[in-house]
């Protein structure tokens, strides 16, 4: 295999997808190539980011599929059609069941905006993670890239990067800093690392 074929699953603005596209253009990601972006939100700006650079996009919604099983089955079909080797969850706001994750062991990765095992698991996503970190009073937070299994945020950790909390931080300010200083660095690095392993 020359390059691992990558699908990125998104739900929103696609800032992490953009970080991956930029990393691919800069040669940080050399062992993999994004061939598909799947969104469960038809209005996700991430779709436009992908289309701008000629990456194929697909929309799969639970509403259109009728059930979680049918939703996951449709995604699996697309993964097969595009011969995808690695699945990257980049702000994908839908928990994938064991029925899905068991088919792709060590081939699905996710970025989470805290240092797992802190502030993670069911219900911990988006701003809530940063609200909880500030409420708890931790001095250091960060981001984690991990393999995905049937337990939310429960798979093996691939990379982590710490970010210091500063006086006057709001959840929004902290979210932005964690993205810029941690997520956008370790997600491309982890994608390269795992792609390289899949190619070897």
Q: Hey, what domains does the chain have and what are their CATH numbers?
A: 4-199 (3.40.50.170)
For residue 131, pLDDT over 80 is answered with yes
* Mean pLDDT computed over every residue of the chain: 96
Q: What is the pLDDT of residues 155-198, one digit of tens each?
A: 999 999 999 999 999 999 999 999 999 999 999 999 999 999 99
Q: What is the pLDDT of residues 75-87, one digit of tens each?
A: 999 999 999 999 9
**Order of strands, sheet of 108-112, starting from the edge strand that comes earlier in the sequence:** 56-59, 32-39, 4-10, 86-89, 108-112, 140-147, 157-164
- Which residue in the list 112, 130, 146, 177 is annotated as catalytic? 112
For residue 96, pLDDT over 90 is answered with yes
112 counts as catalytic: yes
Alpha-carbon dihedral 69, 75, 78, 80, rounded to 10 degrees: -70
For residue 38, pLDDT over 80 is answered with yes
Q: Region 46-74: what's the mean pLDDT?
A: 96
For residue 105, pLDDT over 80 is answered with yes
Q: What number of helices (H) and strands (E) belong to the chain?
A: 8, 7
Task: Give Cβ neighbours of residue 12 (< 8 Å, ≥ 6 apart).
Answer: 41, 44, 45, 46, 91, 93
For residue 1, pLDDT over 90 is answered with no
For residue 200, pLDDT over 90 is answered with no
**Where does the pLDDT of residue 95 fall: very low under 50, low under 70, confident under 90, or very high at 90 and above?**
confident
């Amino acid at each position: 295999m020359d390059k691992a074929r990558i699908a990125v699953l998104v739900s929103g603005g696609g800032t992490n997808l953009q970080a991956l596209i930029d990393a691919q253009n800069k040669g940080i990601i050399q062992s993999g190539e994004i061939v598909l972006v799947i969104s469960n939100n038809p209005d996700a700006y991430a779709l436009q980011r992908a289309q701008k650079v000629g990456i194929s996009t697909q929309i799969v919604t639970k509403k259109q599929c009728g059930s979680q099983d049918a939703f996951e089955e449709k995604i699996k079909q697309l993964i097969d059609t595009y011969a995808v080797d690695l699945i990257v969850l980049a702000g994908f706001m839908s928990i994938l069941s064991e029925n899905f994750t068991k088919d792709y062991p060590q081939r699905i990765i996710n970025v989470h905006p805290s240092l797992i095992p802190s502030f993670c698991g069911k219900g911990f996503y988006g701003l809530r993670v940063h609200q909880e970190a500030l409420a708890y009073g931790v001095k250091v937070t960060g981001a984690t890239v991990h393999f995905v299994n049937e337990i939310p945020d429960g798979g093996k950790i691939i990379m982590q990067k710490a970010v210091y909390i500063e006086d006057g931080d709001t959840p929004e300010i902290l979210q932005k800093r964690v993205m810029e200083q941690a997520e956008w660095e370790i997600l491309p690095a982890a994608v390269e690392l795992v792609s390289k392993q899949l190619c070897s």
